[in-house]
Amino acid sequence: MNEKNKSNEIPVIFHSKTNMASYGFGNLIGQFVEAVFMVLVFFFYEAEIGLSSTLTALGFIIFAIWNAINDPILGYLTDRPNRLTKKWGRRFPWIIISFFPWVIAFLLVFTPPNVDAQKSPWILFGWLVITTCVFDFFWSIFIVNILSLFPEKFREQSERITASGINVFVGFFGVVLGFLLPPLIIIYGNIQSYSITAITCIGISVICLILMIPGIREDQETIERYLTKAIDQEKDKFLPTLKQALRQKNFVVIIIFYLGFMSLTMLVMASFLYYVRYVLEAEAIAVTLIMGMLLIGGIISLPFWVKYTQKTKDNKKTSVIGAILMICFAIPMSLFSDLTLVLITVFLFGIGLGAFWAMMVPVYSDVIDESVVETGKRREALFGGFRFFFGRLAMVIQAVTLAVVHELTGFAEGAATQPQTAVFGIALHTGIIPAIFMAIGTLIFWKFYDITPEKSAKIRAKLSELGL
């Protein structure tokens, strides 16, 4: 449904909740596959394949260097119009084209050559590096364009909050699947069970792709408005555009905050497989119980956080509250060795996670809007590329933390049991260490992020005047 805003200069297109839910399936796929990836990959290569902690971490560092080149450039390139744009839109073609190579690369990550990790470590190391980099190349195209579509598609503030709530709610099912499904399939010590998990993930993702198509199709008005502006504007050069993006204070602050969040979640989620196997000495299905309680806390709290923010109109406040809750309930995870206490703690942690997830897209969209007002140009995919680069940088933080802790505490790669020093190290990287990363990001966000509800309203008014 199209309506004019008060300035009568730009149409505001309102979307049905069904369309919002369809868009959310893109988030579901992203959350699903990324959850499986960040939980399993390091554990798979270190604890199952037997690749050394150092080589596994080095593989992730190379992966991050690739990201430093890959994500921003892909964001920059996909922001530009091409011959498919007029008919299919700016984002839709890239999302569809990247999907199938992405999921195939995902399968290859979990099907390494059948060689001895002690005799041929470099073969496995090379496989890890090549497959993860190919995976990330197509993943970046897919998810950057999904993310970049949100501020273009949902422009009115109340609709953004509603769409974000629906998007996060649908995305939560991706997280549920990503965290709960693998422990039901994998068997400790059975390499083939991991490739079966990857194949199952691909099948689910294809179904979600079909369901998300209506939501990721761009409105004709949006396409025409973009093409009109693209014709009027000269093409930007990459490096000057990059420097301009990094001069926007709120953008730098939000990606640091995002880095802290991703470092927290990736470390905590990846640690659960180690925790269950070596601390609780239980089967992998116990990971499903832990993840389930975390996600129940998030899902139950999500409607509250959405309504609370609609009432206060303060995205920053809700984000900070959620972050503090996650920090407070991450720390006890290092102290408890009883499954019941862990389940209660992760449920409370999930309540904070729900707040953060509900606000991440609206806060990010406010930053994008501020950039458009300052520059007069839309560069959502470039910004999205930076955001996902920092998400991948968090994966390096995860890998380096695991490697350093495991080397210092005597972790035995590929072993069924661990010495007590290694068990202590696992406890540390399950709660206290990731809480420190999140605390640093939260402090910087609280101190320097300055888009208040009043400033956000002024930015949207200016967007209307500019016809952007």
Between residues 421 and 451, the one the model is more confident about: 421
**Is residue 137 in a domain?**
yes
**Is residue 142 in a domain?**
yes
Strand positions, DSSP E, 58-126 = none
Residue 457: other Cβ atoms inside 10 A: 12
**Is residue 227 in a domain?**
no
**Is residue 229 in a domain?**
no
Cβ distance 279 to 434 under 8 Å? no
What pLDDT is attached to residue 6? 44
What pLDDT is attached to residue 110? 94
**Is residue 108 in a domain?**
yes
Least confident of 143-157, 201-215, 278-292, 392-406: 143-157
| Residue 125 to residues 50, 128, 281, Cα–Cα distance (Å) | 11, 5, 29
Q: Which helix (H) or strand (E) holds 51?
A: none
Least confident of 58-67, 111-120, 234-243, 328-337: 234-243
Residue 79 corresponds to which amino acid? Answer: D
Residue 387 CB contacts under 8 Å (≥ 6 apart), including other chains: 147, 254, 255, 258, 364
Domain count, the chain: 1
**Is residue 234 in a domain?**
no
- Tens of pLDDT along 169-208? 787 788 778 878 888 898 888 999 999 999 999 999 999 8
Q: Which two tokens stand for residue 410?
A: 């005597």
Residue 203 domain boundaries: 18-218+244-466
**Is residue 266 in a domain?**
yes
In whole angstroms, give the CA distance from residue 49 to residue 100: 26
CATH number, position 161? 1.20.1250.20
Rg of the chain over Cα atoms, rounded to whole angstroms, equals 22
Alpha carbon dihedral 44, 47, 51, 54, in 10-degree steps, equals 100
**Is residue 285 in a domain?**
yes
- Tens of pLDDT along 348-381? 999 999 898 788 778 877 887 877 777 666 666 5
